[in-house]
Structure 1
Amino acid sequence: MSDDERDEKELDLTSPDVVTKYKSAAEIVNKALQLVISECKPDVKIVDICEKGDSFIREQTGKLYKNVKKKIERGVAFPTCISVNNTVCHFSPLASDETVLEVGDILKIDMACHIDGFIAAVAHTHVLREGPVTGRAADVIAAANTAAEVALRLVKPGKKNQDVTDAIQKVAAAYDCRIVEGVLSHQMKQFVIDANKVVLSVSNPDTRVDDAEFEENEVYAIDIVASTGEGKPKLLDEKQTTIYKRAVDRSYNLKMKASRFIYSEISQNFPIMPFSARALEEKRARLGLVECMNHELLQPYPVLHEKPGDYVAHIKFTVLLMPNGSDRITSHPLQEIQPTKTVDDPEIKAWLALGVKTKKKGGGKKKKGKKGAEGEGEADATNDASTQEQN
């Protein structure tokens, strides 16, 4: 086997080392999410919580692979974001931002970790209140979560990306909610958070992606955002955008000294993964980022909003399409929710009843009666909103 062939093989889930790195990254980001949720309290600044999430990931990944000969890149793969109420995504404020949390806020927490470029991403919705979540807030969380459960069962070899798009929209409608337009679920590869295979959240004439079929040994970040509003978020203030990713295929000779300094710092510290401008010197970054953006050297992750009063929920998980079935490696248990709607649609119930793991072929006896026998135990026990809504 040539070195090139060996390198290509190592990118695949057929390599136990690759699977280990994905799962190690997932363990860290799941713990980071747990930490962030525990820090979300009234009157606490959002930026302080985001920084704690990022710091935890940097600290924990820094403990791994310290004694190997080859340098292993590791750390934050997507900065911690806490988007509140009708804010849809990507709110990760600068150090000077004074925004604090309030009782009753609906928080969308989004973050990712990588080890050697193998990325584990997660997003979770948490309401800052005591007791069960009720009313339309509960509906939208149940819609996003049930859609995620259905997606988990449909993102498997042989299924098409359009199958998932159609299904999650149907789930949202059952809760009188809408899937938010413009959110994409991506295949992920080593050092690539947004590979070519894509699942659209909403099909419309303005947004098209290539038809694709899921294949064994692929990895996906399944990204579901639901809203009680129209599901057509808008950019209200460009100054809120703080997360960027270097466009590796673009080049330009920057004119301003501040721009060259900032772009050099970005290229050195964040060559591939998305980063927060919070990691840069704020005053210089404000000057330098403008020219970088004007010449498309950076890809922005804009902060989008639904209308005031709309409720938005976000669930994201990373799934490995293993030979024995789908392995969801990132998640967090929901609060108790009491939706006003129930899912009675037979097709949605049939999707939720599908197994996540593949039954063993021949040889061994099939075990019946155990919830985990087909592997859906770990997925259903914590996150199946179709069960929780009966509570």
Structure 2
Amino acid sequence: MAEDNAPVDYSLSNPDVLTKYKTAAQISQKVLETVSTWCVEGATILEVCQRGDKLLEDEIAKVYKGKKISKGISNPCTISPSTFVTPYTPLVSDAEEAAVTLKANEPVKIQLGAQIDGFGTVVCDTVLAKPKSDGEVTVSGRAADLILATHWANELMLRLMLPPGLLTTGSEEEQKKARGVRPYTQSKISQLLEKVAKSYECNLVENTTCWLFDRNDIESKKKIILAPGDGAKGEGLPEVGEVWGVEIGVSTGTGKVKTLPNRATLHRRTATTYGLKRPSSRATLSEIQKRFGTFPFSLRQMEDERAGKIGIVECVRGGVVRQYEVLGSTDGEPVARLHTTIAITKNGLQRLAAPPSTDLEKVKSDKKITDEEILKILELPLAKPSSAKPKNKKKKKKPAKKAAVAKPEEDDEDEDSDDDSDDE
């Protein structure tokens, strides 16, 4: 009986937890890849978001069938146009915004995510909306500067997330010394990333935030704020056993942001309790709790969008629901954004849900990173090299007689490529 009452381990040390994160991540990445192909000149943002949500729901329904665990969307499909900074998802009932289409070659931010048993992953990529006519494959000019600045800032940030000494090899004394090195402060992290952005004559987007993830929470107790403004301050640094949402935002302009006049349509349930007075507000909150839990959702996903627009007002005012304002660049300059969900284990960093790798051969810029400190960090691995030994474990199940004779050379005999191993 004591075992039945034992608390469930929701940490990464529980293999089931990591499996659920990975399952959610695979869905997120698969849907992101498909949605990217829909971002073409003339495509309606609303329609792409709707199709993205439908695809997420379809893929989520295929896993953990018949299991009594929650699963769903951890971040609805959002499509942010060129100058938009934050995730954007228009409503069907807002005719003007529902008609907005994508322009050829504009940098479009696609963000979405899935969750299994409360273990959510979020991924974001920036793609250039494809023109109707066949455009040139190679990206150049300021678009290339923006893409490369964002790519390398993201690669640097992932390496800065590693706790000191985690991947150090050598003697016990050397490892101890490496672990004793002070981790990068949030201020230093911003400084290094700003150097990368400025190498391409770009700037970090102010107040870009990386969050610690927990079960049912993609904005937990720790956060790292990049290029903080208006007194914003992060709290805490990454540690082994944690899952983080790592975000990078870069602009060809100043990186300063402003609130846009567009309706805030993305919301999230908070831990605050408040006695809602209006029946419409209580009905809205009840639907939110049942369908979305504490993960972000769009009013577009409500059963009755118009009723949701009315009911959400008091929920936001009472603090039981958080409203995500729509932000954009103050100078109207293009913005690129990437978001990667990572796990930090004793063997290093795992990209759980990540945007596709940038094809650097197709992005041409006359600018490059020259800072030696940054180049040195970028050369560092993200994880310890995996061992190839486990590969032949299953093949050791042989008749006892044969095993007794051939035991010392068993692994060599199992592989065709090692037929000449006797020469050793």
Question: Is residue 136–residue 311 contact of structure 1 (8 Å, CA) maintained in 2?
Answer: no
2:218 match: 193
1:382 match: none
2:382 match: 356
CA distance in 1, matches of 2:5, 2:199: 49
- Measured against aligned partners, the alpha-carbon deviations of 1:131-159 in whole angstroms (never above 9, x if no partner) come to 22221121112111111101111111233
1:20 match: 19
Pairing partner for 2:271 from 238, 248, 264: 248
How far apart are residue 67 of structure 1 and its match? Answer: 2.8
Equivalent residue of 2:85, what SS? Answer: strand
How far apart are residue 325 of structure 1 and its match? Answer: 1.0
Say whether 1:266 aligns with 2:288. Answer: yes
CA distance in 2, matches of 1:167, 1:79: 32
**Equivalent residues in 2 for 1:259-338 (5 A)?**
259-280=281-302, 281-307=304-330, 309-330=332-353, 331-334=355-358, 336-338=362-364
2:227 match: 202
TM-score (norm 1): 0.86
Say whether 1:233 aligns with 2:257. Answer: yes
- Measured against aligned partners, the alpha-carbon deviations of 1:274-319 in whole angstroms (never above 9, x if no partner) come to 1000012222122222222222221011111114541110011111
Question: Is residue 207–residue 228 contact of structure 2 (8 Å, CA) maintained in 1?
Answer: no
2:400 match: none
317-326 or 153-162, larger mean C-alpha shift = 153-162
Say whether 1:102 aligns with 2:103. Answer: yes
The residue identity in structure 2 corresponding to 1:80 is C
2:247 match: 223
CA RMSD of aligned residues (A): 2.1
Aligned residues: 356
Cα gap change, 1:343 to 1:5, in 2 (>3 Å): farther
Question: Is residue 169–residue 201 contact of structure 1 (8 Å, CA) maintained in 2?
Answer: no
Cα gap change, 1:44 to 1:213, in 2 (>3 Å): closer
- Measured against aligned partners, the alpha-carbon deviations of 1:230-275 in whole angstroms (never above 9, x if no partner) come to 21211121x4210000112232222x33222222222221221110
1:119 match: 120
Identity of aligned residues (%): 31
- Measured against aligned partners, the alpha-carbon deviations of 1:91-128 in whole angstroms (never above 9, x if no partner) come to 11112411111212210111111111111111111012
CA distance in 2, matches of 1:62, 1:221: 24
The residue identity in structure 1 corresponding to 2:71 is R
CA distance in 1, matches of 2:313, 2:272: 19
- For structure 1, the 5+ residue unaligned runs are 365-391
Cα gap change, 1:360 to 1:40, in 2 (>3 Å): closer
- Measured against aligned partners, the alpha-carbon deviations of 1:301-343 in whole angstroms (never above 9, x if no partner) come to 1111114541110011111111111111222133532223111
How far apart are residue 65 of structure 1 and its match? Answer: 1.3
The residue identity in structure 2 corresponding to 1:208 is K
Question: Is residue 83–residue 335 contact of structure 2 (8 Å, CA) maintained in 1?
Answer: yes
Cα gap change, 1:118 to 1:161, in 2 (>3 Å): farther
CA distance in 2, matches of 1:270, 1:148: 29
Equivalent residue of 2:47, what SS? Answer: helix
The residue identity in structure 2 corresponding to 1:135 is G
Q: Which 4+ stretches in 1 moved above 4 angstroms? A: 1-6
Higher Rg? 2
2:50 match: 51
224-233 or 167-176, larger mean C-alpha shift = 167-176
- For structure 2, the 5+ residue unaligned runs are 165-182, 390-424
